Amino acid sequence: VVLILGQNYYDDIRSTPTKGYQGVGLLSGICLIVGTMIGSGIFISPKSVLLYSGAVGPCLLIWTACGVLSTLGALCYAELGTMITKSGGEYPYLMEAFGSIVAYLYSWTTIMVLKPSSFAIITLSFAEYASTPFYPGCSPPLIVTKCLAAAAILVITSINCLSVKLASYVQNFFTAAKLLIILVIVVAGIVMLAQGKTENFSNSFDGTTTSFGAIGLAFYNGLWAYDGWNQLNFITEELKNPFRNLPLAIVIGIPLVTVCYVLVNVAYFTVMTTTELLLSPAVAVTFGDRVLYPASWIVPLFVVFSTFGSANGSCFTAGRLVYASGREGHMVKILSYINVKRYTPAPALIFNGVLAIFYTIPADINTLINYFSFAQWFFYGLTALALIVMRFTRKNLDRPVKIPVVLAGIMVLVSCYLVLAPIIDKPELEYLYCTIFIFSGLILYYPFVYRKVNWGRKIMRPITMHLQLLMDVAPPEKTE
């Protein structure tokens, strides 16, 4: 049936290019940045930052510095995103500045590990918070959290495959929900300060750590909570008026998150000492139990909303990198196709969702992410370096947004520090294994991308045809 009845339809949709849907406006762009950045990090990371910084004062300074660093990085990406208006995050910028191999290694590492595993971690956090009320007095069984996480991945992937607009509405709703709970926590903290709860802020720099590696790890944990500041660059082609909305969403969204994070941490310290905060299994829930009782149940509920919204944002942008990589021939072509009716990169989204489900299976996925975090910051630094390189090699490109090149230089230096500090402080073989995995992508690059072997195309052609018929997808329209 597929071969006989479907062949004519396949020929039609194969030869009919499909233009992507530009339906993400300024508000949705801000919600994507804010909604993806504010996940479970601000409700969990405070104790990690405090642990490595050693005291309240440096802890608050690190949270502020992380916001400034995220803003610097995002400003670099604003120039790159308005200069090269292609989706895929860092991928098109590395391609333009350093060529195919560097861009391929980035896409290989991010598509196969960083994006799907991050998606899996966020949904596992969602599953843990969502299932905990049903198991009072104990932790929910591991099988329950993993199955619930897999179900969340399926639901979120389905939403993103159905409609860009629907995914944007979901993102906007959950962003509003998480801003509401942050507002509740901040207002409660202000009330506590007004009542004189300031004893935890006296001698706030006593016990400050001076370890080179510990400070790096404190920044790592803080920046993990800020991760997502580059998300809008993954969907540049779907933005309405990207030359205006991309930099404007960045300038509004990231400072808003920074203010929220600092004020939430101040609120935490009004009711918890450093020791109590470090011993708390979930800082926001402990805060709710002490300040918001008997309405303290709203905190874990809104944490569930927060993690679901963050997972939706992660899925929304991850699919675009797979799509962009497939379009350039660095992944199989079917991953670059768009649904002919819904204008969503369904194959790329499904591929990312399947990988994320696999990443929910291991016992401790967090360990994997900790070791691959240095790779993430390596590529952030490389992208900032790409901006500097293209100031000399691509002088003819139009730059609607142009930042001082010194900001990109600072971003490169900070990235080098964040990559090297944990390795120097505590060298482990796992970092070597991660590096080997990154460069192992060259084993596939040479025959399938560089040489373009014929037998590979012969194998993929019938597979592509059947998947194209199954998912009703076609190649995207090529526009300059």
Q: Can you read off the two tokens belonging to residue 15? A: 């030869």
Q: How confident is the model at residue 371 (pLDDT cuts 50, 70, 90)?
A: low
Domains parsed from the chain with CATH numbers:
1-474 (1.20.1740.10)
Tokens of 101: 């191999």
pLDDT value for 347: 92
Query: What mean pLDDT is predicted for residues 430-445?
Result: 88
Task: Look at residue 220 and tell me whether its pLDDT is greater than 50.
Answer: yes
Tell me what pLDDT residue 9 has: 37
Q: Over 60: is that where the pLDDT of 94 sits?
A: yes
Q: Do residues 414 and 69 make contact, with C-beta atoms less than 8 angstroms apart?
A: yes
Work out whether the CA dihedral 132, 133, 138, 140 comes out positive or negative: negative
Question: Looking at the predicted structure, is the pLDDT value of residue 211 above 80?
Answer: no
Which has the minimum average pLDDT: 35-49, 213-227, 325-339, 369-383?
35-49
Question: pLDDT, tens digit, for every residue of 304-313?
Answer: 898 899 899 8
Cβ atoms of 340 and 13 within 8 Å: the answer is: yes
Q: How confident is the model at residue 375 (pLDDT cuts 50, 70, 90)?
A: confident
Q: Which amino acid is at 458?
A: K
Contacts (Cβ under 8 Å, ≥6 apart) of 37: 70, 225, 226, 227, 228, 229, 231, 253, 254, 257, 310
The whole-number average pLDDT for the span 264-282 is 85
**If pLDDT is split at 50, 70 and 90, which confidence band does 118 have?**
confident
pLDDT at 139 over 80: no
Determine the Cα–Cα distance for residues 87 and 114; give it in Å rounded to an integer. Answer: 18
Mean pLDDT computed over 381-401? 93
Please tell me the distance from the alpha carbon of residue 306 to that of residue 217, in angstroms, as a whole number: 24
Res 458 pLDDT > 80: yes
Residue-level pLDDT at 343: 86
Range name among 49-63, 183-197, 399-413 with the lowest pLDDT average: 49-63
CB-based contacts of 374, cutoff 8 Å, min separation 6: 418, 419, 422, 423, 431, 434
* 18, pLDDT greater than 60: no
For 189-236, give the secondary structure using H, E and C.
HHHHHHCCCCHHHCCCCCCCCCCHHHHHHHHHHHHHHHCCCCHHHHHH
Q: Cis peptide leading into 475, omega within 30 of 0?
A: no
Average pLDDT of 45-71?
A: 84
pLDDT confidence of residue 22: 60
**DSSP secondary structure letters along 77-120:** HHHHHHHS--SSTHHHHHHHHH-HHHHHHHHHHIIIIIHHHHHH
Query: For residue 6, what pLDDT is reported?
Result: 41
CA distance 51 to 60: 12
Alpha-carbon distance of 26 to 242, in angstroms, equals 9
In single-letter form, the type of residue at position 365 comes to I
Quote the percentage of the chain above a pLDDT of 70: 91
How far apart are the C-alpha atoms of 160 and 199, rounded to whole Å?
Answer: 47
pLDDT score of 162: 92
Fill in the amino acid letter for 448: F
Q: What 3-state DSSP class applies to 124?
A: helix
- How far apart CA 191 and CA 80 sit, in angstroms, is 43
pLDDT reported for residue 363:
59
pTM: 0.85
**Residue 369: its pLDDT value, please?**
60
